[in-house]
């Protein structure tokens, strides 16, 4: 990694600009914006020796943006993304939009080798040395003279996402390594406030909270009440300590675990702290049930209030946070901060994707947890 310093126009302060080699291990997650690329580079087409890019890619995330390229200042563009774990290519060129999806599911948590190349009127995608997608395009408006600049970007796009033919959720919890991009040797420019994030050596399914932030949902965006007697069920599997979740509306706040639970340790949610190990055997399941006037934890009534209608609140929309309490000062002692791996979150039986939240702290890995040695990685 290389640090360059650019003089600000007023000459009074130095703004650090991080430059990065495209062949490093790059974590595409943890961005502060959804569509802005993590890093980008541009080159003169005349100096490009090979219209081929290849890299290794690892994810458990089913959907998100991987790689973007364009020419003519973005008038012709190319995007590689995943949808349902399967690679999808979209191309915009001379007022034609193309979208092609195919090949194996890549979101299995192991490294895959990807190669993309341009062969005349075709774009070819190879996965693990096997041609999986060939996209051909021809129009009497396209000119094949390659002049001007080519731009590449990772983890985002350089043109408006509204130009996509098939929209997707851009956030991608993935790592890239051993990249070779058009055989360019120049360094890439990174997002202005970019901070490098590590890639865990091995990953497993889940959402990892390192203890520095939360995810916020509006319950009106989540699966709704089906029957009054069954209410709303939130099930969480994983191993963690700290505040798992909190529910908040204008007139009440509920934390799980509550202080009462912490005292009598009725819940084995602090297993990890005690055992100091992170084996999956430590996994806990916790169920919160909302009924009309009560909240149940693992079937036991935890809170009862005849003045609050929890089910209407759920439908109207209250805040549901995983990993802490909204509004807590950022640097307050992190008594409430969740640390650990939430392997699965089910609401009304449906899998909840943290990428769908209306706020997610950049420290959270929405689709991957370290497979080993959580304590070593997070305790310092």
Ligand X SMILES: *[C@@H]1O[C@H](CO)[C@@H](O)[C@H](O)[C@H]1NC(C)=O
Please, which residue, 256 or 321, has the CB nearer to ligand X?
Answer: 321
Which CB sits closer to ligand X, 40 or 272? 40
Q: Which residues bind ligand X (CB under 6 A)?
A: 43-44, 47, 49-50, 183, 185, 218, 220, 317-319
Please say which residue, 47 or 192, places its beta carbon nearer to ligand X. Answer: 47
Query: Sign of the C-alpha dihedral, residues 9, 11, 16, 17?
Result: positive
Q: For 14, phi and psi rounded to 5 degrees?
A: -100, 125
Give 190's contacts (C-beta < 8 A, 6+ positions apart). 17, 18, 19, 20, 38, 39
Least Å distance, CB 313 to ligand X, is 10
Nearest CB to ligand X, comparing residues 218 and 378: 218
Residue closest to ligand X (Cβ) = 317
Return the number of the residue (199 or 318) whose C-beta is nearest ligand X. Answer: 318
Residue 94, C-beta contacts closer than 8 angstroms, at least 6 positions apart: 76, 139, 141, 142
DSSP 152-195: EEESS-SS-GGG-SS-------EEEEEEEETT--SPEEE-TT--
Least separation in angstroms between CB 232 and ligand X: 15
Q: How far is the CB of 240 from ligand X (least distance, A)?
A: 24
Report the nearest approach of ligand X to the CB of residue 41 (Å): 9
Supply the minimum distance, in Å, between the C-beta of residue 316 and ligand X.
6
Please name which of 48, 80, 47 lies closest in space to residue 65, comparing C-alpha atoms.
Answer: 80
Measured from the CB atom, is 42 or 348 closer to ligand X?
A: 42
Instruction: Report in angstroms how near the CB of residue 183 gets to ligand X at its nearest.
Output: 4
User: Length of the chain in residues, anyone?
Assistant: 380
**Structure tokens given for 358:** 């209306």
Q: What is the Cα–Cα distance from 111 to 175, expressed in whole angstroms?
A: 9
Q: Give the contacts of 179 (CB within 8 A, at least 6 positions apart).
A: 22, 23, 24, 26, 53, 54, 55, 56
């Amino acid at each position: 990694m290389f640090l360059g310093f650019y003089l600000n126009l007023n000459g009074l302060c130095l703004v650090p600009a991080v430059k990065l080699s495209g062949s490093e291990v790059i974590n595409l997650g943890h961005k502060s914006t959804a569509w802005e690329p993590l890093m980008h580079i541009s080159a003169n087409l005349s100096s490009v020796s090979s219209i081929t890019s290849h890299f290794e890619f690892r994810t458990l995330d089913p959907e998100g943006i991987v790689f973007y390229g364009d020419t003519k200042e973005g008038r012709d563009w190319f995007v590689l993304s995943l949808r349902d774990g399967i690679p999808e290519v979209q191309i915009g060129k001379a007022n034609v939009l193309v979208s092609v999806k195919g090949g194996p599911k890549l979101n299995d948590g192991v490294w895959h080798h990807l190669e993309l190349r341009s062969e005349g009127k075709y774009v070819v995608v190879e996965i693990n040395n096997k041609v999986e997608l060939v996209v051909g395009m021809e129009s009497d408006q396209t000119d094949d003279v390659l002049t001007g600049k080519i731009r590449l970007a990772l983890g985002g796009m350089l043109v408006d996402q509204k130009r996509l033919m098939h929209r997707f959720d851009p956030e991608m919890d993935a790592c890239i390594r051993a990249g070779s991009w058009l055989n360019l040797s120049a360094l890439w420019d990174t997002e202005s406030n970019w901070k490098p994030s590590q890639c865990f050596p091995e990953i497993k399914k889940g959402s990892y909270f390192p203890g520095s932030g939360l995810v916020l949902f509006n319950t009106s965006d989540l699966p709704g009440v089906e029957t009054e007697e069954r209410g709303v069920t939130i099930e969480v599997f994983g191993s963690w300590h700290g505040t798992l979740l909190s529910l908040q509306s204008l007139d009440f706040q509920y934390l799980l675990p509550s202080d009462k639970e912490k005292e009598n340790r009725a819940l084995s949610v602090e297993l990890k702290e005690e055992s100091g190990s992170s084996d999956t055997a430590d996994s806990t399941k916790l169920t919160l049930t909302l009924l009309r006037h009560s909240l149940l934890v693992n079937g036991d009534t935890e809170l009862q209030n005849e003045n609050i209608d929890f089910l209407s609140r759920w439908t109207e929309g209250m805040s549901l946070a995983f990993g802490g309490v909204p509004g807590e000062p950022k640097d307050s002692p992190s008594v409430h901060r969740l640390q650990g791996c939430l392997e699965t979150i089910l609401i009304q039986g449906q899998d909840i994707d943290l990428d769908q939240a209306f706020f997610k702290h950049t420290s959270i890995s929405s689709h991957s947890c370290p497979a080993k040695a959580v304590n070593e990685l997070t305790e310092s």
